Amino acid sequence: MTKTRVSYFYHPEVGHFYYGPSHPMKPHRLKLAHHLILGYGIYKEMDCYRPHPATMGEMTEFHSEEYLQFLSKCSPDNLRQYHSQMQRFNAGEYTDCPVFDGVLEFSSLSTGASLDGAVQLAQGQCDVAVNWSGGLHHAKKSEASGFCYVNDIVLAILELLKVYARVLYIDIDVHHGDGVEEAFYCTDRVMTFSLHKYGDFFPGTGHSSETGAKEGTGFSVNAPLQSGMCDRTYNDLFQPVFDKIMEVYQPGAIVLQCGADSIAGDRLGPFNLTLKGHAACVKYVKKYGVPTLVLGGGGYTIRNVARLWCYETAVLVEKEIPNEIPFNDYYEYYAPDFELHLKLEDKENQNSKESLEAIKIELLQQLQNLQGAPSVQMQQVPPPFRVIKNTTNDSDDDNDDDNDGDDQRHKSKTRHGDGDRKPHEAELYDQVD
Ligand SMILES: [Zn+2]
């Protein structure tokens, strides 16, 4: 078997943004992770890229123009004049999504890296693309949510859908991947599979009975879990459900959100996974050899976030790395033991064997029911309606692009002539307001 070609996307500015002094989301963790990856020499096993910042034009493929305009104009200095918009878009001091300096720039860096990864995968330039600054799964079309402003995942999946008939989204963050699920809730071209803590926990969605609507009925797969999930119980659920998804759905590409708040000792997450238990999912997905975009997500004990994403990068390039942390710019963060792997504390797993078995059986049954369903024509690739250029060349999209002015990449040839991008009618939900 030939070696997996891994492309790694990292923008040196992305770790410089700051949500505020008491805010748990620290983009600084991205720098820690990157320097650990450098320290271990893992970068030598991959193609490393500096991603482009996503343009307004690219981000409006999912988000509303008004919402992005708001994010581009508001700043900590002019908040007062945006009072009503802050409420409408769920941003500002009374929410968990503060308006910090450069909030849109931060989002465009994280999104650009996911888009670049998706484009490389779609063009066959790599087998796996990695963007640890992405995976911001809670952002909605016109609303910030759960520390997320722009949904790089939805945008990357839209990019992949130009080429692939079906895309599988997997979310192993401790929180439900609600923004991605919602965006594709009514289509069978994206299946979402999320395992998460459920019950009195943000964002409150993700019950197993949430299975999709319209053409998407059955294509949202949710595993609602209690606190204390350990490596064995997590993978005993993940692996058979994932196997069944691969059998039934046969995706052309996979997007894997690797939120690090599901590992032990997270500041917000109550699960109890080790790096190896979390990375076992990555390894398991990789084994199928389907083009995969690997993204970050949550993760609030930042030294452990760096440990995890570094280890998972090593897993992706198939490099064994020692437990001893190599010297790097942020070495002191790994005190006192300076070891890669976590020492687990004794923590009760509140998921009973019976409840986990019941969830597994329910999800396998849901997937079994899809087999042979008339809406799932697995062997047939839908026409590439997003790729073919409109010959009349007078579409609204073109006009929008012209107004953006800054959207050079969108028009460039490398974006395979997508002036005629028409969303599938069931792909995105209608504008709410
Ligand atoms: Zn999370």
Ligand 1 centroid to 2 CA: how many Å?
A: 34
Ligand 1 centroid to 261 CA: how many Å?
A: 6
pLDDT of residue 94: 87
pLDDT of residue 421: 34
Strand partners, 220: 192
Comparison of pLDDT for 207 and 387, the residue scoring more: 207
Q: Which of 1-5, 267-271, 341-345, 362-366 has the lowest mean pLDDT?
A: 1-5
How does the average pLDDT of the chain come out, rounded? Answer: 89
Q: Which of 82-96, 140-154, 172-186, 415-429 has the lowest mean pLDDT?
A: 415-429
Give yes or no for a cis peptide into 224 (omega within 30° of 0): no
**pLDDT over 80 at 255, yes or no:** yes
pLDDT of residue 371: 80
% of the chain at pLDDT higher than 70 = 85
pLDDT of residue 93: 86
Q: Which of 8-12, 89-93, 124-128, 319-323 has the lowest mean pLDDT?
A: 89-93
Active site residue 28: no
Rg of the chain taking only CA atoms, in angstroms = 21
**pLDDT over 60 at 432, yes or no:** no
Ligand 1 centroid to 37 CA: how many Å?
A: 22
Q: Confidence class of residue 410 from pLDDT cuts 50, 70 and 90?
A: very low
φ, ψ at 80 (rounded to 5°): -55, -40
Ligand 1 centroid to 382 CA: how many Å?
A: 33
Q: Which of 28, 137, 138, 410 is catalytic?
A: 138
Q: Which of 79-93, 194-208, 328-342 has the lowest mean pLDDT?
A: 79-93
Q: Whole-model pTM?
A: 0.88
**Alpha-carbon distance values, 213 to 31, 187, 225, 352 (Å):** 40, 8, 23, 30
Question: Rounded distance, CA 392 to CA 54, Å?
Answer: 27
DSSP 371: T
Ligand 1 centroid to 67 CA: how many Å?
A: 23
Question: Rounded distance, CA 249 to CA 40, Å?
Answer: 37
Ligand 1 centroid to 58 CA: how many Å?
A: 25
Question: Rounded distance, CA 124 to CA 119, Å?
Answer: 9
Structure tokens at 243: 């196997």
Residue 78 exposed, middle or buried by CB count within 10 Å (0-12, 13-18, 19+): exposed
Q: Which domains does the chain have, with CATH numbers?
A: 6-368 (3.40.800.20)
